[in-house]
Amino acid sequence: MTHEIIDDLNWRRTTKKFDPTRKVSEEDLNILLEAIRLSPSSINSQPWRFVVIDSQEARERMASTFTSTFEFNKPHVFDATYFILFGYNPRYTREDYAEVVDTQIEDGRLKPEDREKGFRSFFFAEMNTDENGDTSCWTKAQLYIALGNALHTLARLRIDSTPIEGLDTDRVNEEFREELDGYQCDVALAIGYHHADDHNATLPKSRRRMDSILVRI
């Protein structure tokens, strides 16, 4: 099948080794961040927060969270141009949704006098909140929409990336507690350009066959 979307998606590969001499431009980073911000989410909840690790000091802090289990992901902290923490809100509340409603008023989507109506869809968040106020299953699902959107955007920009769940999440969340501000990070994204020695860059793409994943009725 040939189509530029399919070409983009076939082009992208998870990078196993980044080339530290090639840098993603600030302009491309900003396109990526804007694409992430524009990601859709249930009831427009946007229950996410992103921490871009850029400075040497922040990289060293990130590197310090790795223990032997996920050592294979550690070089990306220094070799990728940016290492981005993806956080979700584990306890999404009406107060969090108020920012969404008020932004909808600011953006001209909702009239100020209809502010209360703007909260009608919040029942969806309540449906996805357990007896302890935990919304993780739901908010984490929203965050992964942003992750998928980021991966596609990067493919279009011909920028390499590695989505990373291989993190010592307790240590990451402790180290970046202040920056994450109550959001939980279970996944990160390294972006940059792959090294000439990256074995994964030339392996054929492999996916389950269409008839194994799809039913048309």
Q: How far is the CB of 144 from ligand FMN (least distance, A)?
A: 7
Closest CB to ligand FMN among residues 20, 163? 163
Q: How far is the CB of 192 from ligand FMN (least distance, A)?
A: 14
Closest CB to ligand FMN among residues 129, 136? 136
92 DSSP assignment? -
Q: How far is the CB of 133 from ligand FMN (least distance, A)?
A: 26
Closest CB to ligand FMN among residues 125, 150? 150
Closest CB to ligand FMN among residues 103, 200? 200
Q: Please, how many CA atoms are within 13 Å of residue 28, restricted to the half-sphere of its CB?
A: 17
Q: How far is the CB of 58 from ligand FMN (least distance, A)?
A: 19
What is the per-residue burial (b if ≥16 Cβ within 10 Å, else e) of 38-61? ebebbbebbbbbbbbbeeeebbeb
Starting at the edge strand found earlier in the chain, the sheet holding 160-164 runs 48-53, 82-88, 184-192, 160-164
Q: Where are the alpha helices (DSSP H) in 108-201?
A: 123-127, 136-157, 169-175, 177-180
Q: How far is the CB of 109 from ligand FMN (least distance, A)?
A: 31
Place of tokens 């909140």: 129
Integer Rg of the chain from CA: 19
Under the rule (CB under 6 A), what is the footprint of ligand FMN?
Answer: 13-14, 16, 73, 162-166, 187, 200, 205
Closest CB to ligand FMN among residues 16, 195? 16
Q: At 212, list the tokens.
A: 């194994």
Place of tokens 């596609």: 152
Q: How far is the CB of 104 from ligand FMN (least distance, A)?
A: 30
Closest CB to ligand FMN among residues 51, 125? 51
Q: State which residue has the least CB distance to ligand FMN.
A: 166
Q: Which residues pair with 84 in a beta bridge?
A: 52, 189
Q: How far apart are CA 132 and CA 27, in angstroms?
A: 42
